[in-house]
Structure 1
Amino acid sequence: MRTLWLAVPFLNALQQILLKLSALDAAPKNASDTGASWLAPLLSSPWFLAAIGAEIACFGIWMTVLSHVDLAKAFPLSAVSYVLIMATAWFAFGEPIQPLQGMGSLLILAGTWLIATASRPSA
Structure 2
Amino acid sequence: MKPIWLSVPVLNTLQQIFLKRSAEQTTGSDGQWLELLMYSHWFLAALIAEIVCFIIWTTVLAELDLSKAFPLSAISYVFVMGVAWSLFGEPVSLSQLIGSSGILLGIWLIVTAGSSSAPAQ
Q: Is the structural similarity TM-score above 0.5?
A: yes
How many Å separate the matches in 1 of 2:77 and 2:14?
11
Q: Alpha-carbon deviation of 1:94? A: 0.2
Match of 2:106 in 1: 111
Match of 1:66 in 2: 61
Q: Alpha-carbon deviation of 1:28? A: 1.3
- State the TM-score, normalized to the length of structure 1: 0.91
1:52 aligns with 2:47: yes
- Computed over aligned residues only, the root mean square deviation of the Cα atoms, in angstroms, reads 1.3
How many Å separate the matches in 2 of 1:115 and 1:89?
26
**Do 1:28 and 1:37's aligned partners in 2 also have CA atoms closer than 8 Å?**
no
Partner deviation per Cα, 1:16-73 (whole Å, 9 max, x = no partner): 01000000011115xxx3xx32111111000000000000000000000000000000
Match of 1:25 in 2: 25
How many Å separate the matches in 1 of 2:62 and 2:90?
37
- State the TM-score, normalized to the length of structure 2: 0.92
1:78 aligns with 2:78: no
Q: Alpha-carbon deviation of 1:122? A: 4.1
Corresponding residue SS for 1:96: coil
- The runs of 5 or more residues in structure 1 that have no matched partner are none
The percent identity for this pair of structures is 56
Q: Alpha-carbon deviation of 1:119? A: 2.0
Q: Alpha-carbon deviation of 1:95? A: 0.5
How many Å separate the matches in 1 of 2:48 and 2:37?
15
- The runs of 5 or more residues in structure 2 that have no matched partner are none
Number of equivalenced pairs? 118
Q: Post-superposition, which runs of at least 4 consecutive aligned residues in structure 1 deviate over 3 A? A: none
